[in-house]
Amino acid sequence: MFKQLQKLGKSFMLPIAILPAAGLLLGIGGALTNPNTINAYPFLNIAWLQGIFAIMSAAGNAVFANLSLIICIGLCVGLAKKDKGTAGLAGAVAFLVMNASIAGMITTFNPEIGSIDTGVVGAIVIALMVSFLHNRYSTIKLPDVLGFFGGSRFVPIVSSLGAVFVAVVFFLIWPTFQGWLVTAGKGIAGLGVLGTFLYGFLLRLSGAVGLHHMIYPLFWYTELGGVETVAGQAIVGAQNIFFAQLADPNHVGLFTEGTRFFAGRFGTMMFGLPAACLAMYHCVPKERRRAFYGLFLGTALTSFITGITEPIEFMFLFIAPWLYVVHAFFDGVSFLVADLLNISIGNTFSGGLIDFTLFGILQGNAKTNWLLVLVQGAIWAALYYFTFKFLITKFNVKTPGRDENAEDGNEEVKVVSPKDEINSKAVQILEALGGKENLEDVEACITRLRVAVKDVKKVDKERIKKLGATGVLEVGGGIQAIFGAKADPLSKKINELIGRD
């Protein structure tokens, strides 16, 4: 079960990865077509220029308006073991059939309901059903008279039939289930800043084992993240509400309080963790610092600009898990402080400079209170720096460069092309994982190689570390190896070696 949850969480990354591009279009287009912005900067009031911005806004909004369908397709692709294109098509068809069937049942049996929008919950249910049917029946052989409909062609057909039954279930239970979600959302909101703290703390803590992808989508896209009327329509989910307001030229005042599920990220990702990098760098003996300067600078800039924090977190997660708990606590407090300060910045993917600029600065301080992030950030940088420096030196935590056996950076390096390096490492990693026979599934997220194995005792963790993994974690009978940006190409090459697409 844990392996499947990990795989589902990882599969969320495919559809969510398109959000930064859509958010870029909507963020710039929405900000620069807003009447208040035009009044403040009259040079923007040019017909053809406003036309371009309006098109950008509409293009970005199209993605968010169809996000449930996109998530469904992405999950089907991610959960399919092979022939992923067919799985994606089957998911799209099944999702559309489910919604059409629900609409038909409402019209026939209970018009008073009006409509039912299962959102991301419906997308997850359909994706789970389709991926199960696809993985089980994509090679089915039918009698000769029906042979054309066998194999992968059978999957969209049987998925469509299954979607009708899913629609019946949702038609019967969704109003009640939706009520539960609304109640839970109100309960979290009722906890005030304590609820915001718990969200940030638990989200960061679950990130240690890669399960954070299972948590935040429920707040971003379901009633757990709030329900609000925008431009005359009821919108559910914190991110959906934020982008609906962003696309609404008539929206005035601060953005929705649902941004409390985003705003706390900026203090940690842009200021706190880069400061922790500086602290770890200053904890390296002076004679070794030059060799590790690039490592710390690169990971700090990655966190600051993009909000991708794993390269920093994995520097201390495996050698001092308790230090990661301290970090998770600080991150939770960052969410709490941002909520208290009424910072109302949304995001598409993470809490780096890109999202901060698009959804904070460009939207104006009157709507987002983005200036307060700079104040909080300065405090958070000091908090992380002095806390990490004290704890690392006090408890002699072996962060990079502090290990007595650390490389001094002066050894001769053999130049190898990136492609040859990936090919060579993939072969050796496959051997260290126990060979093809020991693998159930191989996937990758942003920085982690995630492998479901049959027998974890056959895995040579130390060899995997020697092959470049900054950490190897055994989770739920599977292996997570941190290879940074090389995780995805390594995953693809290993799947190629074992004969999976």
Q: Which residues are catalytic?
A: 445
The average pLDDT across 417-423 equals: 72
Q: Which of 161-175, 284-298, 401-415 has the lowest mean pLDDT?
A: 401-415
Average model confidence (pLDDT) for the chain? Answer: 85
Q: Helix/strand/coil (H, E, C) string of 383-434?
A: HHHHHHHHHHHHCCCCCCCCCCCCCCCCCCCCCCCHHHHHHHHHHHHHHHCC
What whole-number distance in Å separates Cα of residue 177 and Cα of residue 159? 23
- The confidence score (pLDDT) of residue 413 equals 37
Beta pairing partners, 443: 450
The average pLDDT across 462-485 equals: 80
What residues contact residue 91 under an 8 Å CB cut-off, 6+ apart?
Answer: 72, 73, 75, 76, 77, 126, 127, 130, 131, 159
User: 20, 138, 148: which is closest to 79 by C-alpha?
Assistant: 138
- The confidence score (pLDDT) of residue 416 equals 47
What single DSSP character describes residue 222?
Answer: S
Q: Helix/strand/coil (H, E, C) string of 346-358?
A: CCCCCCCHHHHHH
The average pLDDT across 139-160 equals: 83
Domains of the chain: 2-184 (no CATH), 217-246+257-394 (no CATH), 418-497 (3.30.1360.60)
- The confidence score (pLDDT) of residue 9 equals 67
Q: Of residues 26 and 191, which shows the higher confidence score?
A: 191
- Which long-range CB contacts under 8 A does 131-135 form with residues at least 24 apart? 131/75, 131/76, 131/79, 131/80, 131/87, 131/91, 133/90, 133/158, 133/159, 133/162, 134/76, 134/80, 134/83, 134/86, 134/87, 134/90, 134/159, 135/79, 135/80, 135/81
pLDDT tens for each residue of 202-224: 889 887 766 677 678 888 888 88
Residue 463 has pLDDT above 80, yes or no: yes
- The confidence score (pLDDT) of residue 76 equals 93
What residues contact residue 42 under an 8 Å CB cut-off, 6+ apart?
Answer: none
Q: Are 156 and 130 in contact (CB under 8 A)?
A: no
Residue 40 has pLDDT above 80, yes or no: no
* C-alpha distances out from residue 328 to 9, 84, 398, 434, 480, Å: 19, 36, 20, 34, 20
Residue 144, class by beta-carbon neighbours within 10 Å (0-12 exposed, 13-18 middle, 19+ buried)? exposed
Side chain identity at 155, as an amino acid letter?
V
- Which long-range CB contacts under 8 A does 221-224 form with residues at least 24 apart? 221/67, 221/68, 221/71, 221/119, 221/120, 222/119, 222/120, 222/121, 222/181, 223/178, 223/181, 223/182, 223/184, 223/185, 224/181, 224/184, 224/185, 224/188
Q: At what angle do helices 193-206 and 321-340 cross, to 10 degrees?
A: 150
In total, the chain counts a number of residues equal to 501
Residue 410 has pLDDT above 50, yes or no: no
Q: Which run of H or of E encompasses 474?
A: strand 472-475
- State percent of the chain over pLDDT 70: 92
- The confidence score (pLDDT) of residue 2 equals 56
Q: Looking up tokens 């053999």, which residue turns up?
A: 414
The average pLDDT across 21-46 equals: 77
The model's pTM is: 0.67
Place 379 in a pLDDT band, splitting at 50, 70 and 90. Answer: very high
- The confidence score (pLDDT) of residue 393 equals 93
The average pLDDT across 238-242 equals: 88
Residue 438 has pLDDT above 80, yes or no: yes
pLDDT tens for each residue of 320-332: 889 999 999 999 9
What residues contact residue 496 under an 8 Å CB cut-off, 6+ apart?
Answer: none
Place 108 in a pLDDT band, splitting at 50, 70 and 90. Answer: very high
Q: Of residues 305 and 149, which shows the higher confidence score?
A: 305
pLDDT tens for each residue of 80-103: 888 889 999 999 999 999 999 999
- The confidence score (pLDDT) of residue 332 equals 95
Q: How many CB atoms lie within 10 A of CB 433?
A: 25
The average pLDDT across 439-466 equals: 83
Q: What are phi and psi of 187, to 5 degrees?
A: -65, -45
What whole-number distance in Å separates Cα of residue 495 and Cα of residue 501? 6
Q: Which residues of 262-283 are buried (b: 16+ CB within 10 A; e: fewer)?
A: bbbbbbbbbbbbbbbbbbbbeb
What whole-number distance in Å separates Cα of residue 311 and Cα of residue 484? 7
Q: How remote is the C-alpha of 153 from its chain's centroid?
A: 31
- The confidence score (pLDDT) of residue 392 equals 94
- The confidence score (pLDDT) of residue 468 equals 82
- The confidence score (pLDDT) of residue 423 equals 85
Residue 411 has pLDDT above 50, yes or no: no
Q: Which of 311-315, 327-331, 393-397 has the lowest mean pLDDT?
A: 311-315
Place 404 in a pLDDT band, splitting at 50, 70 and 90. Answer: low
- The confidence score (pLDDT) of residue 477 equals 67
Query: What is the per-residue DSSP string for 227-279?
Result: EEEETTEEEESHHHHHHHHHH-TT--SSPPGGGGGTTHHHIIIIIIHHHHHHH
- The confidence score (pLDDT) of residue 415 equals 43
- The confidence score (pLDDT) of residue 408 equals 46
